[in-house]
């Protein structure tokens, strides 16, 4: 089971559980996946009652989907119904993890305990590396997982260095502080219909198409922004972002929004 607007990757089974038919090839379409609306616990439990769902996967914060934060109560109840029906709960923290939300993992804003957590992206600060955290309910054994590049020493060194810098520079605290500032100050930007997210993972939904706003930010202010659909700007800056830079972004966006 996966959720509408969710994104989990482009490889084999990962793309099958991604809610985007345009990137699923026929070879990937044979996986049995059910997509349900996010935060609809009734539909989830009705489906799990059938006893044929191996796992439920959900993003700590939906990224590509437009920075959608799962309702905390839904996330907790999702854990409980998964336990009730013997279904594995997977938290995809590849984009929302490693401090981006103001906690190490986004799900830690609740007291949910997942069975599996997937990590990558921020794990290596640009170096290609990924990982899977598993609970004690799974019995690991030597050779259980393996890839050509598994256990790569350089990747491990890069990952350790990232953890050291995150701790030494207090980057999780920084993400939380700047995120709180943005959630307050960006609410005053004209044309924004919804503001959502946590830490340095913020979504700005505008009342109209954002193409011109993004173009002006890029060409006139030298600021590149992410996007989701035609009306949502996604902000996912480095965790090292300084408050002065965050304030500068607000001023530049206000200038552009007033001229659009």
Q: Which domain holds residue 32?
A: 2-167
Q: 102 and 175 in contact (C-beta within 8 Å)?
A: yes
d(CA 253, CA 260): 10
Q: What's the CA dihedral at 74, 135, 111, 44 to 10 degrees?
A: 10
Same domain flag for 159 and 227: no
Same domain flag for 157 and 176: no
Same domain flag for 86 and 8: yes
pLDDT digits (tens, 9 = 90+) for 23-45: 998 888 889 999 999 999 999 99
What is the token pair recorded at 218?
A: 């890029």
Query: Is residue 255 packed enough to be buried (19+ CB in 10 Å), middle (13-18) or exposed (0-12)?
Result: middle
d(CA 44, CA 81): 8
d(CA 169, CA 134): 28
pLDDT the model gives residue 228: 95
pLDDT the model gives residue 252: 97
Percent with pLDDT over 90 in the chain = 89
d(CA 20, CA 24): 7
Same domain flag for 134 and 226: no
216: pLDDT strictly greater than 90: yes
What is the token pair recorded at 260?
A: 């659009």
Q: 66 and 234 in contact (C-beta within 8 Å)?
A: yes
| Residue after which a domain boundary falls, among 167, 193, 224 | 167
How far is CA 93 from each of CA 100, 130, 185, rounded to the nearest angstrom? 10, 11, 27
Percent with pLDDT over 70 in the chain = 100
| Residue after which a domain boundary falls, among 120, 144, 167 | 167
Mean pLDDT of 34-59: 97
- Looking at residue 243, which CATH number applies to its domain? 3.90.1150.10
pLDDT digits (tens, 9 = 90+) for 106-145: 999 999 999 999 999 999 999 999 999 999 999 988 888 8
Same domain flag for 131 and 103: yes
Same domain flag for 144 and 46: yes
Same domain flag for 131 and 230: no
pLDDT the model gives residue 212: 96
pLDDT the model gives residue 55: 98
Same domain flag for 136 and 224: no
Same domain flag for 185 and 160: no
Same domain flag for 86 and 109: yes
- Looking at residue 86, which CATH number applies to its domain? 3.40.640.10
- For residue 31, which of 51, 47, 11 has the smallest C-alpha distance? 11
Same domain flag for 9 and 86: yes
Domain count, the chain: 2
Same domain flag for 157 and 192: no
260: pLDDT strictly greater than 80: no
Q: Are strands 226-228 and 35-36 parallel, antiparallel or unpaired?
A: unpaired
């Amino acid at each position: 089971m996966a959720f509408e607007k969710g994104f989990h990757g482009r490889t084999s089974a990962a793309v099958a559980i991604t809610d985007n038919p345009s990137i699923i090839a026929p070879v990937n379409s044979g996986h049995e996946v059910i997509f349900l609306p996010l935060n609809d616990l009734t539909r989830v439990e009705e489906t799990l009652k059938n006893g044929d769902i191996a796992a439920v996967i959900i993003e700590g914060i939906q990224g590509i989907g437009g920075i959608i934060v799962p309702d905390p109560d839904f996330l907790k109840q999702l854990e409980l119904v998964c336990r009730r029906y013997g279904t594995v709960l997977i938290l995809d923290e590849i984009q929302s993890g490693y401090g981006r939300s103001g906690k190490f993992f986004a799900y830690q804003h609740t007291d949910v305990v997942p069975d599996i957590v997937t990590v990558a992206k921020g794990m290596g600060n640009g170096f290609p590396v990924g990982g899977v955290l598993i609970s004690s309910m799974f019995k690991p054994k030597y050779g259980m997982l393996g890839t050509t590049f598994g256990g790569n020493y350089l990747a491990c060194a890069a990952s350790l260095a990232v953890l050291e810098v995150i701790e030494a520079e207090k980057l999780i605290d920084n993400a939380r502080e700047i995120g709180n500032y943005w959630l307050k100050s960006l609410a005053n930007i004209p044309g924004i219909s919804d503001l959502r997210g946590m830490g340095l993972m913020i979504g700005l939904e505008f009342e109209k198409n954002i193409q011109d706003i993004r173009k002006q930010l890029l060409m006139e202010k030298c600021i590149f922004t992410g996007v989701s659909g035609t009306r949502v700007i996604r902000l996912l800056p480095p965790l090292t972002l300084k408050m002065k830079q965050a304030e500068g972004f607000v001023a530049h966006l206000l200038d552009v929004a007033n001229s659009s």
